[in-house]
Amino acid sequence: MRGHLNNDHLDALLGPLGGVISENSSEVRDEAQLHLESCESCQETVRAQKRAMDQLAFLKVNEPELPGPDCPDEEVWVEIAAGNEPAD
């Protein structure tokens, strides 16, 4: 392997964000793991990627909630999204 870990290597080590695993992921993972053992720069990259993935997982909503009684009507959100002042 020449150079540092690329996105394919990170996906093989940590799992792809898109959820698709390539056919040669075990070969790429083994290659990346060997490089990772001796490269402090890539070790930090992997740690940062893991932290980012953990933070994204924490933000993930498991079940959508229904609007509560104090929530504005859907039309109000459409106006806000369009950049308009909602009508009273």
List pLDDT tens digits, range 8-48.
888 888 886 655 566 667 888 888 899 999 999 999 999 99
Is residue 65 in a domain? yes
Q: Could you tell me where the beta strands, DSSP code E, fall in 1-88? A: none
What's the half-sphere exposure (Cβ side, CA atoms, 13 Å) at 46?
Answer: 21
Range of the domain at 57: 7-81
Task: Tell me which amino acid residue 8 is.
Answer: D
Question: In 10 A of CB 49, how many CB atoms?
Answer: 17
Residue 88: inside a domain? no
Please provide residue 63's backbone torsions phi and psi, each rounded to the nearest 5 degrees: -135, 135
Residue 1 domain-assigned (yes or no): no
Report the predicted TM-score, pTM, of the whole model to 2 decimal places.
Answer: 0.57
The verdict on residue 86 lying in a domain is: no
Distance CA 36, CA 34 (A): 5
How many domains would you assign to the chain?
1
